[in-house]
Structure 1
Amino acid sequence: MVQSARSRTVLALYTTADDVQSHRTRLVLAAKGVTYDRIVVTPDERPADLLDLNPYGTLPTLVDRDLTLYGPSVVCEYLDERYPHPPLMPIDPLSRARLRIAALRIESDWLPEIDVVRAGGKPADAARKRLREHLLMALPLFKASKFFLNPEMSLIDCLVAPVVWRLPWLKVDLGKEGKPIMDYGERLFHSQGFARSLTAEERTMRDL
């Protein structure tokens, strides 16, 4: 169960209401079934205690007792090791490296386009087109396995699924060619963990 007051548990997550990286972290916590304090922050109004904890004031920021972590990949991998069941990373080094490289490429290629679309204006249409192309280029990875790059759900799905969830809201249409991607999303969207990861704002992006 997600709580809202930091004093109730030792684990607290400072998160935005609708950012992909914050959603990614919340999805990891939901997949693990971890109880935590969800502290929703408006990006332009950072609370003073967040700046005391994280000198960059970035989100998401995780507080676990006396430990403060930031940087989405750092936070997600820590949570996977801190709460090992179910495991969200493969055992072998090669598969783990492949997932990390995939996450880096998504952060470098997909997420900046989402930011441009959200900002609106003339650049948004070109960013939608580029995001669509990035996703369709990854189509073989969606087709190769039940989950992205892995037969079981992993940390990379916690990044990919929030992107796919937002596509209708971003007005990115993958067409018939992108059906395997949308089918992938539907396999995850109807899980209890995914539902728990959503904020009220994210629920309005599409129907579960």
Structure 2
Amino acid sequence: MTLYSSGLCPYAQRVRIVLEEKAMEHQVIEVDLANKPEDLEDLNPYGQVPTLVDRELVIYESSIINEYLDERFPHPPLMPVDPVSRAKARLLILRIDRDWFMPLFSTPQPSEKIKQLVRDGLTAISPLFNSQRFLMGDEFSLVDCAVAPLLWRLPHLGIELPASAKPILNYMERVFARDSFQRSLTMAERDLRG
């Protein structure tokens, strides 16, 4: 299994977290996005990372890759078993992507307005963590894998959460302390936090 990744790509980090959570043997090919290798362009019509190659199968888009990995390697499970909870998890990932990832990571420098919207959104969900350990309850899931790269990058983006967001700050500490999260970090990502 081979993952085409980039050291600072939050979408690629999502996949690296899942690969580490599943303890999957894999090879990471580090891609310089300014000078992409020809084989990446041949594998993925968008020439983007993350791109996963598993034997003859090529998959791109972090959420599609992560669901594939969870189904192909079911232990530990990262998606709920029942269809209603699975749909809720997918909707949460979609909202994380549309409301936070796309505005923050689609431009080199997000505006203060976008940063404030993300800060307010994270602060609004903070009370959720008073009653549960992770976004979908007490089990770590693909939803946590989806949001963790953004949370890691908050200081680098200049987004500081208020003291009232203490429950989400505690959640971040729990996620960042996970072995899978720590192993997913590239040197460039470690440098984001000093």
TM-score interval, normalised by the smaller of the two chains:
over 0.9
Q: Secondary structure at the match of 1:84?
A: coil
Code of the aligned partner of 2:168? I
Alignment pair present for 1:43 and 2:33? yes
Contact 1:61–1:69, Cα closer than 8 Å, also in 2:
yes
Tell me the residue number matched to 2:176.
189
- The alpha-carbon distance between structure 1 residues 44 and 142, as it changes in their structure 2 partners (threshold 3 A), is farther
Q: Alpha-carbon deviation of 1:166?
A: 1.0
Code of the aligned partner of 1:87? P
| TM superposition score normalised by structure 1 | 0.88
Contact 2:123–2:162, Cα closer than 8 Å, also in 1:
no
Q: How does 1:59-208 map to 2 (within 5 A)?
A: 59-115=49-105, 119-120=108-109, 124-206=111-193
Question: Where do 4+ consecutive residues of structure 1 move more than 3 Å?
Answer: 140-144
Mark the runs of 5 or more structure 1 residues left unpaired by the alignment: 1-10
| C-alpha RMSD of matched pairs (Å) | 1.4
Q: Alpha-carbon deviation of 1:150?
A: 2.1
Q: Alpha-carbon deviation of 1:34?
A: 0.8
Query: In structure 1, what is the Cα distance between the partners aligned to 2:179 and 2:102?
Result: 29
Code of the aligned partner of 2:45? P
Query: In structure 1, what is the Cα distance between the partners aligned to 2:24 and 2:10?
Result: 20
Aligned residue pairs, count: 194
| TM superposition score normalised by structure 2 | 0.94
Q: Secondary structure at the match of 1:49?
A: helix
Contact 2:4–2:50, Cα closer than 8 Å, also in 1:
yes
> Could you give the per-residue CA deviations for residues 40-87 of structure 1, whole angstroms, max 9, x where no partner exists?
112222110011111111210000011100111110000011111101
Code of the aligned partner of 2:159? V
Contact 2:2–2:54, Cα closer than 8 Å, also in 1:
yes
Higher-RCO chain (CA-CA 8 Å, sequence separation at least 6): 2
Q: Alpha-carbon deviation of 1:138?
A: 2.3
Contact 2:127–2:167, Cα closer than 8 Å, also in 1:
no
Code of the aligned partner of 1:138? I
